[in-house]
Each structure stands twice: as C-alpha cells, then as structure tokens.
C-alpha cells in the first residue's frame, strides 16, 4: 500500500508523551508509533463491535492439580466451533503452558477465555486479541 504523509498538530505534553512512548517501546520513529497505535485501536474497535476476530488464549497451570486439565478440556469442547488449535507444552515437572488459538465472534471468544482463566488452579491466563483482515 502507498505511504501517505500528513502533518499532525499536538499539544506539547502530548508530543512529550508520544516521544516517551517511541523511546519506551523502541520504535524507530514517531510514524511507526502512530501506525501501531492506529492498528491497535482498530483491533479493539472490532472487538467492541463483536466482529469476527482471531486471538490466542495463554494458560499456565500446575498439572498436578486435580481435575484441572479435564476441566479445561470440557470447556474447550463446549467451544469447539471457535477453537482452531490447542497446543500444550510441559514447562517443567509441575508446570504446563497451554495456548488456545481462537477465531470467532469477539464476545464468544471473551466468554471462552473468561471461563478457562477462571478454572481453579490456573496460575496465569491471558487473551491476546488480533484481527483477521
């Protein structure tokens, strides 16, 4: 796609905040930071409007916890229509990392993610959202 240049007017404090964001996120320049902010906003907008989106749910848990992995599997079967793939990694003797790749209506994906993360014994869970187009 062609790159178009345009001028942006900002207040001094906003420019300072932008430059800090560029520095902290190690962007090459302000344009790259703007592009990132815009695309992030577009993705979030799609989620807010319950459009079809893609995402990944990451779960970390102790596999010795009773029935935990069974519960995770039960929940995933209830949402088979939005799950593209599940991958399981044995991190060490106790810990497992599971990633669930999903695609579907934003609200249904959020619902699935909330249920998985709420399972007792999940140490860390996060849904990362992306876009499909």
Q: Does 59 bind Ni ion (CB under 5 A)?
A: no
| DSSP codes, 42-82 | HHHHHHHTT-EEEEEEEEEEETTSTTHHHHHHHHHHHTGGG
C-beta of 91 vs 107, nearer to Ni ion: 91
Per DSSP, the three-state class of 100 is strand
Shortest spacing between CB 88 and Ni ion, in angstroms: 6
d(CA 67, CA 60): 15
User: Per CB under 5 A, which region of 4-12, 43-51, 85-93, 115-123 contacts Ni ion?
Assistant: 85-93
Q: Work out how close the CB of 119 gets to Ni ion at its nearest, in angstroms, rounded to a whole number.
A: 15
Interaction of residue 96 with Ni ion, rule CB under 5 A? yes
Q: Which residue from 30, 51, 63, 71 is in contact with Ni ion, where contact means CB under 5 A?
A: 63
Nearest 10 degrees: Cα torsion 36, 39, 42, 46:
-110
Q: Contact, 33 vs 72, CB < 8 A?
A: no
Told to check if 90 binds Ni ion by CB under 5 A, we report yes
- Cβ proximity to Ni ion, 90 vs 120, nearer residue: 90
Nearer to Ni ion, 50 or 62 (CB): 62
Q: Which residues of this protein are in contact with Ni ion, per CB under 5 A?
A: 63, 90, 96
């Amino acid at each position: 796609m062609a790159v178009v240049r345009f001028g942006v007017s900002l207040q001094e404090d906003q420019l300072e905040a932008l430059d800090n964001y560029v520095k902290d996120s190690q962007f090459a320049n302000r344009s790259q930071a703007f592009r990132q902010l815009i695309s992030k906003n577009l993705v979030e907008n799609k989620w807010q409007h319950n459009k079809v989106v893609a995402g990944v749910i990451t779960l970390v848990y102790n596999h010795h916890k009773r029935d935990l992995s069974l519960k995770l599997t039960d929940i995933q079967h209830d949402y088979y229509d939005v799950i593209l793939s599940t991958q399981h990694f044995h991190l060490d003797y106790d810990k497992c990392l599971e990633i669930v790749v999903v695609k579907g209506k934003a609200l249904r994906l959020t619902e699935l993610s909330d249920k998985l993360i709420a399972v007792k014994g999940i140490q860390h869970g996060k849904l990362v959202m992306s876009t499909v187009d």
